[in-house]
Amino acid sequence: MTVVQELFETYDPLEKAPTLTLYMLKDGEEWARISSDEPVIGTQLTRLLQMSQDSRPILKRLVSNGERLTYHVKKQGSPWKAYNIVPSDWVVTKVVQYEPFDLGELPEFRGVTIAYCERQPLSPEEIEGMTRETISKVSVDSFGGNEEAYQRFLASEQSKEYVQTESGHHSQ
């Protein structure tokens, strides 16, 4: 007996809308002290560690337990957008996802993910071993597939800050 499985395309009116992810301290954790040179931030206590918007394809927007928060540090002296990705002490231990019941409830986002984190410190050796470099890569996908916008970017002064384009060459 042969079973034929039909594939149905499901319409998702919010498919292109980003998912908002809030990385929060796990219940029972102390408040985290953050500080910044930004006058608006200064030094303060918070329960919100990080916030991001994810516009990748929906199946790639997953936040998982064990994920370690990272921060990007611009490499000094680099003529392009090169960063070191450095692990933090904060690890995701619980993930809760919310999707709006009514499209009007959350018009800017497809949903909200709350990732609860707890502190799991690393040794200096572990931090060094987990730190990696990334260089921003610009492709037509960076412009939502808009070839004309991509070509305008390549012709602009701003493109000189990037070491790689889609073809892997430095833009000049």
Query: Which residues sit opposite 72 in a β-bridge?
Result: 85
Evaluate whether residue 85 is within a structural domain: yes
Whether 106 and 75 share a structural domain: yes
Whether 122 and 141 share a structural domain: no
Q: Which residues contact 135 (CB under 8 A, 6 or more apart)?
A: 80, 81, 82, 83, 162, 163, 164
Q: Report in angstroms the alpha-carbon separations of 134 from 6, 73, 92, 114, 153.
A: 42, 10, 22, 26, 21
Domain that holds residue 110: 19-56+67-135
Residue 72 has what pLDDT?
76
Neighbours of 58 (CB within 10 A): 15
Instruction: Please give the distance of CA 160 from its chain centroid, rounded to a whole number.
Output: 24
Whether 35 and 72 share a structural domain: yes
Compute the C-alpha angle 60/158/143, nearest 5°: 35
Residue 82 has what pLDDT?
76
Residue type, 114: I
Residue 170 has what pLDDT?
45
Evaluate whether residue 145 is within a structural domain: yes
- Contact yes or no for 98/114 (Cβ under 8 A): yes
Q: What does the alpha-carbon distance between residue 87 and residue 24 come to, in Å, rounded to a whole number?
A: 16
Q: For the chain (length 172 residues), average pLDDT per consecutive 10?
A: 62 74 81 73 79 80 90 69 84 90 74 91 90 77 78 75 49 42
Q: Looking at the 3D structure of the chain, how many domains does it have?
A: 2
Q: Is 116 helix (H, G, I), strand (E, B) or coil?
A: strand
- Contact yes or no for 32/25 (Cβ under 8 A): yes
